[in-house]
Structure 1
Amino acid sequence: MSIEDLKNLIPDFAKDVRLNLTSMLSDEALEPQTKYGLFLASAIATRNPIVVAALESLAAEHLTPAAIAAAKAAASVMAMNNIYYRFAHLASNKEYAGMPARLRMNVIANPGIAKTDFELWSLAVSAINGCGACIDAHEKVLQEAGVASSAIQTAVRFAAIIQSVAIAIEAGSSSLADAAE
């Protein structure tokens, strides 16, 4: 699926989403690997197969196989971590926060690409998944690595746009299904 196909699936009620997607695609605030890996990791986090297919196709034009694998790894490991650490953070019983997670996450230390790219992708996925503890942890690592606040904000903005594309497409699909009944 192409990006044009994806844009065409966004219903008219979500014109702002379509415009945001268009502007995001042409935004050059992030380096290409950072940007396209972020697109792919965020798309996977939406769990929308249409969005994943379109952004994976786009990413494949710009990323090495190692970067594609790292984007997928960021989405996968954050899916696990975001559930666990959100629970530990939100549970009234704070005993859980002090217990060892006992989750394998070696890819965070050795992602096979620039560590800051992986951290930015992990932050974006954590924002989509709503894990405040993970957001804070990844944002801190990025700040300590000298990543500009504007780049961090751009990454989260892109994640928000990608999530809104997935929701708009879902809402448009359910509207069509409801109308057919």
Structure 2
Amino acid sequence: MGIDTIKESLPAYAKDTRLNLGSVTTTSSLTPQRLWGALVATAVAARNAVVLREVVEEAAKNVSPEAIEAAKAAASIMAMNNIYYRGKHLIGDEAYQSLPARLRMQVIGNPGVDKVDFELWCLAVSAVTGCGVCLESHEKALVKAGASREHVHDALRVAAVVHAAAVTLDAEAALAG
């Protein structure tokens, strides 16, 4: 079960995704909590039921329930923030930049895990959903807090591979249905 199940579910044409999924989960510079939190958060953001169930099942063997909940919280809050901040940016009118969000975001201040872990998961989700404003903001916060660029890079790799697995499995399910 878990990552192996996802890998076995991928079709032959997704061999690179299968190999990369193995690689990002076994050769990461991230601590287990940061790695599994990034996997959970990006699995939520990628929206594939198989990927999400299998990642969370394996994550539960590697990190605390609190870390899993915080990773899901990162995905949830970034689902809102990525849309809001990307939208303001894409409109291109500077007048929107001075308007307050007036959206509740308290989990960012008290995520229940190390702040750097949560920031890393928010960055990974922002990569999946494509919000450049949030990517820049979280990368700066991570570097300022002492996270290495290698850690940021590994979180981006996790996001890319989890998203690729989810897209592939969604495509196969649509073609089979």
Q: Distance in 2 between matches of 1:108 and 1:6?
A: 30
1:84 equivalent to 2:84? Answer yes
Is residue 43 from structure 1 mapped to residue 11 from structure 2 by the alignment?
no
Question: 2-side partners of 1:169 and 1:39: how far apart?
Answer: 16
Deviation at 1:6, TM superposition (A): 1.3
| Structure 2: gaps (5+ residues) | none
Task: Answer yes or no: is 1:62 the counterpart of 2:62.
Answer: yes
- Residue 148 of structure 1 corresponds to 148
Supply the AA of the counterpart residue of 1:176.
Answer: A
Please name the residue that 2:163 is paired with. 163
- The percentage of counterpart residues that share the same residue type is 47
Q: Distance in 2 between matches of 1:131 and 1:149?
A: 19
Residue in structure 2 matched with residue 23 of structure 1 by the alignment = 23
Distance 1:57 1:131 in 2: 28
Pick which of 30-39 and 86-95 moved more.
86-95
Q: Residue 172 of structure 1: CA displacement? A: 2.0
The residue type equivalent to 1:114 in the other structure is D
Partners of 1:51 and 1:170 lie apart in 2 by 10
Aligned residues: 177
Q: Which amino acid aligns with 1:142?
A: L
Q: Calculate the TM-score normalised by the size of structure 2.
A: 0.96
**3-state SS of the aligned residue for 1:61?**
coil
> 1:58 Cα shift?
0.9
Give the residue type in structure 2 aligned to 1:170: D
Segments of 5+ residues of structure 1 without an aligned counterpart are none
Normalising by structure 1, report the TM-score: 0.94
